[in-house]
Amino acid sequence: MTLPTFSWSYLGPVLPELLLACITIVVVFLDLFAPQKRELLPWMTVVGTLGAMLAVAGQGPATTFGGMYIVDTCSLFFKQICLIGLLLTTLMSERYLQAENLRHGEYYSLLLFSTMGMMFMASAGDLMVLYLGLELMALSIYCLVGLMKGDPRSSEASLKYFLMGAFFSAIMLYGMSLLYGMTGTTNLHGIALYAKQAGLLANPALLSGLGLLLAAICFKTAVAPFHFWTPDVYEGAPTSVTAFMSVGAKAAGFAVFGRVLMVGFPELQGSWGTMLAVLALLTMAVGNITALSQTSMKRMLAYSSVAHAGYALIGILAGTPEGISATMNYLLIYGFMNMGAFAVLLLLVKDGKRRESLEEYRGLAGSNPLLAALMLIFMFSLTGIPPTAGFIGKFYLLRAGLDAGYTWLVICAVIFSAVSAFFYLRVVRYMYMEEPAEEICFKMTPGVSVAITLALIGVIGLGILPGPVVGLASRAVFAF
């Protein structure tokens, strides 16, 4: 067997990932050999992220490494979501790292490595590339979650996430082995072609392989009943890491959802559409109902993340261009509003006190009206109240669900959105209708200011003028 000759042209489609890899190496060595220059690390990460975003924006459709790595408009859209998550996390992290006395070098390098994994997942045209990207993302996040070594909650969350993640990685590999054994290929297009030609679409082994693969993806995207790791990990992880994984990892997971189902198994849409509808209903129910009883902001936002995964599934299960584009649009909007909420949480961290309890938000509007107003906007958007972007995101998702014939699921989604108003607006009630528990002072650093401003522009701008981004998502989905 003759191996193909390597060509430098193979690296063109992976230019953004290579830029991130180079910045990661520079960050690691600078932290190691010039610790006195550590204050440069976040800005180097920002520059590398902006460079990768420009490289992604300048790319066109391409494939490389024998079709294993696919660059199309859809993958580029998801990559930009991941990079936006990295950019906002980096901007808001410097103050938080100082408040928690965390080391800088490995933090930023792990963020960069994790984002590279997410981008590999978004462009995976082969199960092997998918697995490599997922593990690069997951292993980096395991380390980030346990970065606060002096906090037992952080160590516990990291260990739990690692053990459960390893278990579901094994499940994913077993599912991939079944798919490879049945079709003789790990390429998604090849699997679809062979399964159709050989009449394997109803084969139990093929369906079992797909089921195991989807179970692992559901774990990564916090879809019920595979969400059980979410509250403990979100609460134990550093707050900036929680924000990062709630946006980037979820976007990468849904990119895999769309590519595996729409490219590898489009003929089975009737089967996996029904299955995803049940999972979406269960996810919305578990996330919204469980969040009602939470008194910790991070645990409440963790169950909120579960519920939003259920909403995003509606676009995937619709299996239409409108549905996929609605999910893409929603994940971008979710990134802005969730990052904004976590940025406010980060600002309240001071002198080792994290202020994660709802009780500590009593009377925040009296002591810090600006901070309370920002949190109010982000809570309104997470609820889906117009004219914020959260309303626009849910509107397009529900319309796609109606057009696909899932009227009952759309009705349930509206009901659960009304339920979510209770725990989101409860935060507003504590801030505006309760007496202050204490005087809260905070320092708005330049990085956090820019991060919150960008999140605010995303939430308000996409709520008032959603057309350009909605149109971009609609054009991007034609890649499928």
Spatial CA neighbour of 413 closest among 334, 314, 330, 318: 314
Helix, coil or strand: residue 352? coil
In this structure, are residues 70 and 190 in contact, taking their beta carbons and an 8 Å threshold?
no
In this structure, are residues 81 and 54 in contact, taking their beta carbons and an 8 Å threshold?
no
pLDDT for 438 equals 66
Tell me the pLDDT of the chain averaged across its residues.
89
Mode of pairing for the β-strands spanning 62-64 and 69-71: antiparallel
Q: What is the rounded distance in angstroms from the CA atom of residue 319 to the CA atom of residue 480?
A: 10
pLDDT for 315 equals 93
Q: Six-digit token pair at 373?
A: 């107003």
In this structure, are residues 315 and 400 in contact, taking their beta carbons and an 8 Å threshold?
yes
Q: How many CB atoms lie within 10 A of CB 267?
A: 11
Can the peptide bond before residue 225 be classed as cis, meaning omega within 30 degrees of 0? yes
Q: What percent of the chain has pLDDT over 90?
A: 65
Helix, coil or strand: residue 201? coil
Amino acid identity of 248? G
Average pLDDT over every residue of 336-364: 82
Average pLDDT over every residue of 226-238: 91
pLDDT for 1 equals 41
The answer, yes or no, to whether residue 105 has pLDDT greater than 70, is yes
Spatial CA neighbour of 240 closest among 56, 384, 344, 89: 89
Residues 14-49: pLDDT tens digits?
Answer: 999 999 999 999 998 888 887 777 788 889 999 999
In this structure, are residues 315 and 66 in contact, taking their beta carbons and an 8 Å threshold?
no
pLDDT for 480 equals 58
Average pLDDT over every residue of 54-60: 91
Helix, coil or strand: residue 357? strand
Banded pLDDT at 440 (limits 50, 70, 90):
low
Q: How many CB atoms lie within 10 A of CB 103?
A: 13
pTM, to two decimals: 0.94
Residues 60-100: pLDDT tens digits?
Answer: 888 888 888 999 999 999 999 999 999 999 999 888 888 77
Q: Six-digit token pair at 213?
A: 């693969």
Helix axes 73-100, 41-57, angle to 10 degrees: 170
Banded pLDDT at 366 (limits 50, 70, 90):
confident
Average pLDDT over every residue of 175-197: 92
The answer, yes or no, to whether residue 404 has pLDDT greater than 80, is yes
Average pLDDT over every residue of 161-187: 94
The answer, yes or no, to whether residue 177 has pLDDT greater than 90, is yes
In this structure, are residues 209 and 179 in contact, taking their beta carbons and an 8 Å threshold?
yes
Least confident range from 129-133, 331-335, 370-374, 438-442: namely: 438-442
Longest dimension (CA), the chain: 76
Banded pLDDT at 116 (limits 50, 70, 90):
very high
pLDDT for 153 equals 87
Q: What percent of the chain has pLDDT over 70?
A: 95
In angstroms, the Cα distances linking 86 to 38, 141, 178, 215, 345 are: 19, 13, 35, 26, 17
Q: What is the rounded distance in angstroms from the CA atom of residue 95 to the CA atom of residue 449?
A: 11
Q: What is the DSSP letter of 35?
A: G
pLDDT for 6 equals 64
Spatial CA neighbour of 242 closest among 146, 151, 112, 117: 146
Q: Residue for token digits 């725990």?
A: 423
Banded pLDDT at 352 (limits 50, 70, 90):
low
Residues 284-302: pLDDT tens digits?
Answer: 999 999 999 998 899 999 9
